[in-house]
Amino acid sequence: MNIDRIAPTRRPTSSVVQRQRWAQLLFLHWRVDARALRELVPAELAIDTHEGDAFVGVVPFTMTGVRPVWAPPVPGISNFHETNVRTYVVDRNGNPGVWFFSLDAASRVAVTLARTFWHLPYHFAQMSLSTGSSGETVYETNRLWPKPLPAHFSARYAASGEAFHALAGTTEHFLAERYILFAQHSDGRLVRGRVHHTPYPLQAVKLLEWRESLLAASGIVRPDGEPLAHYASEVSVEIFGLENAAG
């Protein structure tokens, strides 16, 4: 299959429906056998691979300014932490994107709206993020509802080095530069959404300690060993509406 990995990075011509800011993103990835994910992803989507490997990822970050395009941010609602568990997929037209196994957020409102209107497997969680004067960041999330439980993640890490934009064809570009999401509508239809932002300002990251049970809660056996780790400070994001993935 011919996969164009540059076209999705271009801004769509359709109307923006939301604006958000994503910050302090920690990308953790493990290589896995694509066959281990096959039953967890809709049949209409192929598991995307890089140099023969599929990947599962845990991505904790914080969101601010989450709002419809026509409204200002709302204190207490527009800012919250989020952690997603994901893999990478390709639809039958060769469009590369993300399949989310779970998304945990520290906002009851966001979880309810996302489950209802975006058909995404959101969960409400108790979450915290802090960065000390030494530059170390501590992030923790503990899922409260709905099941499966337990589903926990915590990490202590420090970003380092100059920020860079991933080049097409590299592992970093394959993992980070994703602008299409796929989801399963309640009526069974596969739908997709688009996002747009400038390329991630990626940095190396020293992962000082971590533990997680989010992958197991999604039915994924985590490979042994340390994950690939990357960091991005922030991007401003435009969100576009869902559409039928067969269109």
Would the pTM of this model clear 0.75, i.e. be above it?
A: yes
d(CA 141, CA 91): 31
Q: pLDDT tens, 145-182? A: 999 999 999 999 999 999 999 999 999 999 999 999 99
Asked if the structure places residue 174 within a domain, the reply is yes
Find tokens 């409400």 and name the residue: 124
User: Domain containing 28: what range?
Assistant: 7-244
Domain annotation covers residue 24? yes
204 located within any domain:
yes
- 1 falls within a domain: no
Residue 224 lies in a domain: yes
Residue 151 φ then ψ, to 5°: -150, 100
CA triple 52-54-55, angle to 5 deg: 140
Residue 2 in any domain: the answer is no
Give me the number of domains the chain comprises.
1
Strand (E) or helix (H) holding 240: strand 228-240
Q: Could you tell me the CATH number of the domain that includes residue 148?
A: 2.40.400.10
Q: pLDDT by residue (tens digit) across 40-91?
A: 999 999 999 999 999 999 999 999 999 999 988 887 789 999 999 999 999 9
pLDDT at 103 over 70: yes
